[in-house]
Structure 1
Amino acid sequence: MTQHERSKRTRGLIVEAAGAVFAEKGYNGATISDVYQRVGLTKGAFYYYFTGKEDLARAVLESQVGEVPFPLVPRTTRLQEMVDAGMVFALAIRKDTAVQGSLRLSLEHGAHDLDRRRPYEDWIAHNRYAIARAKDAGELHSHVDPEAAAQLFVGAFSGVQVLSEVMTGWADLEERISVLLQYVLPTIALPGPLAQVDMSPGRADRVLADLERLRQAEAGAEEAERG
C-alpha cells in the first residue's frame, strides 16, 4: 500500500468514526478527542487530516451521497437504477452509524457554523440526474420537470426517514420508502416502464448481492487479463 493509499484510508476511518460520534452526541456534544481516540490516532496525527471539528463535520456531511455511487448495478430501466439507489441508501441509514451521524448533522439546528444544505443539494443533484436519464430513455411522462421532481423526492424521502426514526428507530424505513415510491412514481413514470420496477422491501439486499457478484466478475476478468 502506497503512502497516498494509507493516507486516504486513514482519512476515511476518521470520517467514519466521526459520523458515529456525531450520531451519538450531536455536533455540540462531540469533541475532537472523541474521534481521534476512537480511531487510535494522536491529536497531532488528526490535525494532519482536518483543521478542526467544523472541517470534520463538513467531511461527514459531504460523504453522505458518496455512500451510494450511481448507478450501483446497470439495469434494463433507468427507473430501476434510481429506485435501487434510494433503497440502498435507506438500508445504509438503518445500519451505518456514519450515515446516521451525517443525517443528525444535517438536521441539527444548534450547529450554527455548519452549512447543512450540502447533503440536500447533493441528493437533489443526484436525483435530478437520475430522473433526467429516465426521461431521456422515454420512461417518464413528457411533462416531468427533473428539477421539480428531484426536489419533491428529496423532501419526501427526508420526511419519511425522520418519521421512521421517531416511530421505530429506522426499523421500518425500507417498508416506508417502498410505500412512498409506490405512491409517487406513478405520477411521473409511464405505465410500461413502471411495471418492470421492483420497489419492494428487501430490494436493497438483492441489489447489494448483485453488486457483489458484479465486482467478483470484474475482478475475475482483470485477473484473467493479467494472467
Structure 2
Amino acid sequence: MSKTAHNATHTHQKSKAQSNAYGKVWLFFIYYWLIFGIGCYLGQFLPMQWRQPLSIGLLVLVLITTFVNRARKYGLIISHIYAIVIGLLSYATFTYYLQSLGTDVFYKNVILAIAAFIAFGLIGYFLIDNAAGMGKYLFVTFIALIVASLVGIFIHNSIFHTIITVVGLLLFLLYTIYDFNRMKRGHFKPREMGFNLFINLLNIIKDVLYLADRVRK
C-alpha cells in the first residue's frame, strides 16, 4: 500500500471514529434529558419542604465533585443523581413559569433558549479555532456562581437573583462554545460531553425563562 493510500485510509478511519463519538455524545445528551424528564414527572409528588434541602444538597454535591478528585471516579452515578434531582426540583419551576408567562410565551422562550444553544454551539465548532484558554476563566466563574447560588437560597432579593441569572446565562452560553470547540478538537469523552451539553441547555432554558418572567413583571 502506498503512503498516500495509507494516509487516506487512516484519515477515513479517524473520521469514522469521530462520527461514532459524536453520535454517542448526542445519545447521552438525549438519555440525560430522559432521566431529567422522569425526575420532572416525579417532582409533582415532591413535598415543598424538601425543595430547599435538596437544592442545597445538589449545590454541595457539585462543589464536592468539582474539588475532590476521588469523587470524580463516581461521575456516572453522580450524573444520574444530578439529572434526577434537578428534574425533581424543576417540576415546580416549570409549572410556575407556565402559569406566570402563559403557554405561548413559555414555549417561545424555550425555543429562543434552544436557538441560542445551537447558535453558540455552531460558533464554538466552526468559528473558533481553539477555545481551550477559556476553560480556567469559565471554571472560576462557575465556582463563584455556585457559591452565590448557595447564598441566594437564604437571600430573598430579586436584584441579587437577577444578577446571578444573567451571569449564569452568559456562563452557560460560553460553556456551550467551549464544549462544542472541545468536540471539534476531539478532546472529550462521549458520556461526559453529553452530560455537559444537557446541563448547558437546561441552565440556558431556565435562565431565559427567569429573565422573561422578570421582564413581564
TM-score (norm 2): 0.28
Bigger relative contact order, structure 1 or 2 (CA pairs below 8 A, ≥6 apart): 2
Which structure's residues are more often helix, by fraction? 2
